[in-house]
């Protein structure tokens, strides 16, 4: 329908004209007229402005009363309280109280700033107290008033102790949102909370607490330490820098989501979580923390995934404990650290075997798990681990370990899987397992350039049903020049090496420089080494199908303290699970490894190998079998345990280094080349001089008997 309207045309004659307007045009015209004249609600009916209550925002005059009056009316009316650009001064003795149903929005975290005095007193209230439900604060800055420049670290004193208190000392709040706000220059804490469904996202926290000064447990940017009744806490996409003690600390919370946060320069722990459950810690970036980057103690149902670390566990940054990028467990031995997945994290330190490394920061330890149950450590990338302040000295048990699975004196671990991790350039061990436990599985990992052992499993006497399988360990450095440094080092303390499966690993330590040269750099002494403290016996082991090559001393070796298993004293049982372990580099013929091949003494181990003749070197145990590769029907069996030598001593003969001979039923090895004397040497002790030759006593000579397969009779 159209509307007929008469309008006065311009001109002195006052002529009129009839113009026909469409109905839709008239409606639009009426709406515009109504907005101008107030027929419809204008913006002032939906919002309040703190300036209308007398706030000045000039950084000098006291805005506390005006601000509080505006907040009180916003709570009654449900209107949004706007805070224009300005610097709003709240004295040290005052506190803004925000009740239920209030929404406050500033013009930006750096533009609309609420600040307080620089004078610090222990009993002053928090700058802002939030109590109640359904509260939203956006785009505001909160300053504790410390007189520092933007790039300065925190000072020891001065500044409001707490900036925002969310119902910490009263009834727990619910449904609180703090978004795109800034918090800076507080003496103690940025936000302390007690509540449910609290979201803090997109905020900046700078110079909160006493950075690198005093280790105070409740200092930090965000905390609910010491209070219960919190749940559904979401801390997302915030930035933290120069924070004292803890950046974020949570305590007894059900459902915590810590995601996308950036933390840099934290005196103590980056993300500290105690006695929580249903933790989701993902995609945070954490660097330069004094203690652990992420600390999770006595928590259950935890995911720590996709986080990035650099020098998070940097003892140079402040007071430090274990100094790991990720710490998970229960060092109180209460059995409460259960069900965790630690996966796909990138952990990097600054340690290097090159002394020219200029980086002053460190990553003392990569991942540290203690007294935990049902934990999976999977697909993490860990490199350059170790304290750089003393590169040639270990600064504690944690220093230089890529992954640690340990136990306290009263605790234990059970069902721990370390799988698919890449660990490289560690000052000490690549993967370190130590303590009481069951079902510890180290499988499918790659460890390269470990300064200590590649994989170190200790106290396996009570680590029952352990497994080290399908790992690749290469290019060990033996950084501390130890007499024994192995790709896989296994140690028992006052017990049996029992129920352990070491199989299908590739252990390589012949770092070939080019395809055309055999010049190798070999530092690691053994591929696999068994050791112990106190009494140590072997029982129920599988050491099979490993590929081991290029080690300096032996491919598989044993400490002298290790012996065979005995049910009755004096009646040992052999270890029979050493099978199909092969040596040989890429261009060598494979050879079956004889455990303890170069050793004088070793436990009774029945091995199988192959050769074209009876061996003239090596330590063979009674019952070991050698198959003749030239005749499949022939084999040689060791009728006693001893060291092989097929040549008898002869006078006035040249002898090369390593040559073995027998005199009677005893075997000797040349340790200094030369020419034998005119008569048989007189043996005294473990060495003997013979002309210009020096012999080392290797023990009793092993005797072999040839067997023809199928006949059941010796040849």
Torsions phi, psi for 560 (to 5 deg): -65, -25
How many CB atoms are closer than 10 A to CB 332?
15
Q: Work out the pLDDT band at 45, boundaries 50, 70, 90.
A: confident
C-alpha count within 13 angstroms, C-beta hemisphere, residue 655: 29
Report d(CA 672, CA 693) in Å as an integer: 6
Q: Are 668 and 644 in contact (CB under 8 A)?
A: no
C-alpha count within 13 angstroms, C-beta hemisphere, residue 267: 27
Three-point CA angle 151, 152, 153, nearest 5°: 125
Mean pLDDT of the chain: 86
Mean of the pLDDT values across residues 317-339? 81
Report d(CA 264, CA 154) in Å as an integer: 14
Closest C-alpha among 660, 691, 656 to residue 677: 691
The first and second tokens of residue 635, run together, are: 């084999």
Q: Are 314 and 354 in contact (CB under 8 A)?
A: no
Torsions phi, psi for 293 (to 5 deg): -70, -55
The enclosing H or E element of 518 equals none
Report d(CA 382, CA 342) in Å as an integer: 13
Flag whether pLDDT at 35 surpasses 60. Answer: no
The first and second tokens of residue 676, run together, are: 């034998």
Three-point CA angle 354, 356, 359, nearest 5°: 100
| pLDDT confidence of residue 9 | 37
How many CB atoms are closer than 10 A to CB 579?
15
Q: Work out the pLDDT band at 219, boundaries 50, 70, 90.
A: confident
Torsions phi, psi for 451 (to 5 deg): -70, -30
Q: Are 329 and 368 in contact (CB under 8 A)?
A: yes
| pLDDT confidence of residue 452 | 96
Q: Work out the pLDDT band at 252, boundaries 50, 70, 90.
A: very high
Flag whether pLDDT at 512 surpasses 70. Answer: no
| pLDDT confidence of residue 236 | 98
Closest C-alpha among 489, 488, 453 to residue 471: 488
Q: How far is CA 397 from the centre of its chain?
A: 15
| pLDDT confidence of residue 591 | 84
SS3 710: coil
| pLDDT confidence of residue 365 | 94
**Percentage of the residues of the chain whose pLDDT score is greater than 90:** 62
Note the pTM of the prediction, 2 decimals.
0.89
Closest C-alpha among 386, 397, 390 to residue 423: 386
How many CB atoms are closer than 10 A to CB 203?
28
Secondary structure percentages of the chain, helix, strand, coil, to 5: 5, 50, 45
**Residue 344 zone, left/alpha/beta (φ > 0; ψ -120 to 50; rest):** left
Q: DSSP assignment, residue 355?
A: T
| pLDDT confidence of residue 586 | 61
Q: Are 584 and 596 in contact (CB under 8 A)?
A: no
Report d(CA 715, CA 705) in Å as an integer: 8
Report d(CA 348, CA 287) in Å as an integer: 9
Torsions phi, psi for 217 (to 5 deg): -60, -30
Flag whether pLDDT at 54 surpasses 70. Answer: yes
Counting every residue written for the chain, the total comes to: 715
Report d(CA 64, CA 381) in Å as an integer: 51
The first and second tokens of residue 183, run together, are: 């918090």
How many CB atoms are closer than 10 A to CB 481?
9
Q: How far is CA 211 from the centre of its chain?
A: 23
**Residue 180 zone, left/alpha/beta (φ > 0; ψ -120 to 50; rest):** left
Q: What is the pLDDT of residues 594-613, one digit of tens each?
A: 999 999 999 999 998 888 99
| pLDDT confidence of residue 578 | 92
Residues 6 or more apart whose Cβ sits within 8 Å of residue 424: 382, 383, 384, 430, 446, 447, 448, 449
Q: Work out the pLDDT band at 682, boundaries 50, 70, 90.
A: confident
Residues 6 or more apart whose Cβ sits within 8 Å of residue 595: 543, 556, 557, 558, 578, 581, 602, 605, 607
Q: 701, exposed or middle or buried, with CB in 10 Å at 0-12, 13-18, 19+?
A: buried
The enclosing H or E element of 66 equals helix 64-77
Q: Are 209 and 137 in contact (CB under 8 A)?
A: no
- Out of 57-66, 137-146, 493-502, least confident range: 493-502
Closest C-alpha among 585, 578, 576 to residue 556: 578
β-pair partners for 590: none
Closest C-alpha among 114, 44, 130 to residue 79: 44
Q: Are 286 and 327 in contact (CB under 8 A)?
A: no
Closest C-alpha among 432, 555, 437, 565 to residue 496: 565
Sign of CA dihedral 154, 157, 158, 160: positive
Q: Work out the pLDDT band at 585, boundaries 50, 70, 90.
A: low
Q: What is the pLDDT of residues 110-133, one digit of tens each?
A: 999 999 987 766 677 899 999 999
How many CB atoms are closer than 10 A to CB 706?
13
Torsions phi, psi for 66 (to 5 deg): -60, -45
Closest C-alpha among 618, 621, 628 to residue 555: 618
| pLDDT confidence of residue 171 | 86
Burial 111-137 (b: 16+ CB within 10 A, else e): bbbbbbbbebeeebbbbbbbbbbebbb
| pLDDT confidence of residue 8 | 35
How many CB atoms are closer than 10 A to CB 427?
33
Report d(CA 609, CA 635) in Å as an integer: 10
Flag whether pLDDT at 74 surpasses 80. Answer: yes
β-strand 511-512 against 204-208: which pairing, if any?
A: unpaired
| pLDDT confidence of residue 11 | 41
Q: Are 56 and 63 in contact (CB under 8 A)?
A: yes
Torsions phi, psi for 438 (to 5 deg): -135, 150
Mean of the pLDDT values across residues 354-358? 68
How many CB atoms are closer than 10 A to CB 316?
17
Q: What is the pLDDT of residues 430-456, one digit of tens each?
A: 999 987 778 899 999 999 999 999 999
Q: Are 621 and 644 in contact (CB under 8 A)?
A: no
C-alpha count within 13 angstroms, C-beta hemisphere, residue 387: 18
Report d(CA 484, CA 489) in Å as an integer: 9
């Amino acid at each position: 329908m159209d509307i007929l309207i008469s309008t006065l045309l311009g001109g002195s004659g006052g002529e009129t004209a009839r113009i026909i307007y469409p109905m839709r045009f008239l409606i639009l015209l009426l709406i515009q007229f109504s907005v101008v004249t107030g027929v419809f609600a204008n913006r002032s009916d939906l919002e309040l402005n703190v300036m209308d209550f007398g706030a000045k925002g000039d950084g000098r005059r006291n805005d506390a009363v005006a601000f509080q009056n505006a907040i009180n009316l916003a709570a009654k009316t449900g209107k949004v309280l706007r805070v224009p650009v300005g610097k709003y001064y709240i004295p040290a003795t005052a506190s803004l109280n925000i009740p239920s149903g209030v929404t406050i929005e500033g013009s930006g975290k750096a533009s609309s700033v609420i600040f307080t005095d620089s004078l610090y007193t222990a009993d002053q209230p928090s700058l802002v107290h939030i109590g109640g439900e359904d509260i939203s604060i956006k785009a505001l800055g909160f300053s504790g008033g410390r007189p520092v420049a933007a790039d300065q670290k925190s000072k020891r004193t001065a500044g409001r102790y707490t900036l925002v208190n969310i119902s910490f000392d009263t009834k727990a709040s619910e449904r609180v949102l703090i978004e795109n706000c800034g918090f800076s220059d507080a003496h103690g804490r940025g936000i302390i909370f007690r509540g449910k469904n609290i979201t803090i996202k997109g905020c900046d926290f700078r110079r909160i607490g006493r950075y690198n000064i005093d280790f105070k447990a409740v200092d930090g940017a965000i905390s609910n330490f010491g209070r219960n009744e919190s749940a559904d806490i979401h801390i997302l996409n915030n930035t933290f820098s120069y924070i004292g003690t803890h950046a974020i600390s949570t305590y007894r919370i059900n459902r915590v989501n810590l995601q996308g946060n950036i933390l840099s320069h934290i005196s103590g722990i980056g993300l500290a979580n105690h006695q929580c459950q249903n933790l989701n810690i993902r995609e945070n970036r954490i660097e330069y923390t004094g203690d652990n980057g992420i600390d999770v103690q006595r928590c259950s149902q935890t995911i720590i995934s996709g986080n990035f670390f650099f020098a998070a566990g940097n003892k140079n940054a402040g007071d430090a404990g274990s100094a790991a990028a990720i710490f998970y467990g229960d060092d109180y031995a209460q059995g409460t650290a259960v069900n965790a997945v630690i996966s796909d994290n990138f952990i990097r330190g600054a340690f290097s075997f090159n002394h020219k490394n200029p980086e002053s920061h460190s990553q003392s330890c990569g991942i540290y798990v203690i007294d935990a149950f049902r934990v999976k450590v999977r697909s993490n990338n860990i490199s350059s681990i170790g304290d750089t302040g003393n590169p040639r000295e270990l600064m504690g048990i944690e220093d230089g370990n890529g992954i640690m699975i340990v136990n306290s004196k009263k605790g234990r671990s059970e069902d721990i899987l370390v799988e698919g991790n890449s660990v490289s350039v560690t000052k000490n061990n690549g993967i370190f397992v130590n303590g009481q436990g069951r079902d510890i599985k180290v499988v499918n990992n790659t460890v390269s350039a470990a300064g200590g052992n590649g994989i170190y499993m200790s106290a396996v006497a009570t680590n029952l049903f352990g497994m080290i399988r399908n790992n690749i360990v290469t290019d060990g450095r033996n950084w501390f020049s130890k007499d024994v440094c192995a790709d896989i080092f296994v140690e028992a303390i006052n017990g049996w090496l029992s129920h352990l499966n070491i199989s299908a690993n590739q252990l390589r330590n012949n770092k070939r420089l080019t395809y055309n040269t055999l010049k190798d750099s070999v530092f690691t002494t053994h591929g696999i080494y068994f050791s112990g403290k106190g009494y140590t016996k072997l029982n129920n082991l599988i050491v099979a199908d490993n590929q081991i090559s290029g080690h300096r001393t032996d491919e598989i070796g044993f400490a002298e303290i290790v012996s065979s298993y005995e049910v009755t004293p004096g009646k040992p049982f052999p270890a029979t699970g050493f099978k199909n372990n092969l040596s040989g580099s890429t261009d060598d013929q494979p050879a079956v490894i004889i455990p303890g091949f170069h050793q004088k003494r070793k436990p009774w181990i029945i091995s199988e190998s192959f050769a074209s003749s009876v061996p003239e070197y090596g330590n063979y145990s009674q019952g070991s079998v050698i198959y003749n590769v030239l005749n499949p029907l022939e084999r040689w069996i060791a009728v006693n345990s001893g060291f092989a030598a097929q040549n008898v001593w002869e006078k006035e003969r040249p002898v090369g280094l390593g040559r073995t001979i027998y005199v009677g039923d005893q075997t000797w090895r040349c340790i200094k080349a030369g020419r034998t004397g005119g008569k048989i040497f007189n043996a005294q002790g473990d060495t003997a001089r013979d002309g210009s030759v020096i012999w080392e006593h290797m023990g009793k000579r092993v005797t072999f008997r040839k067997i023809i397969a199928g006949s059941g009779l010796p040849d």
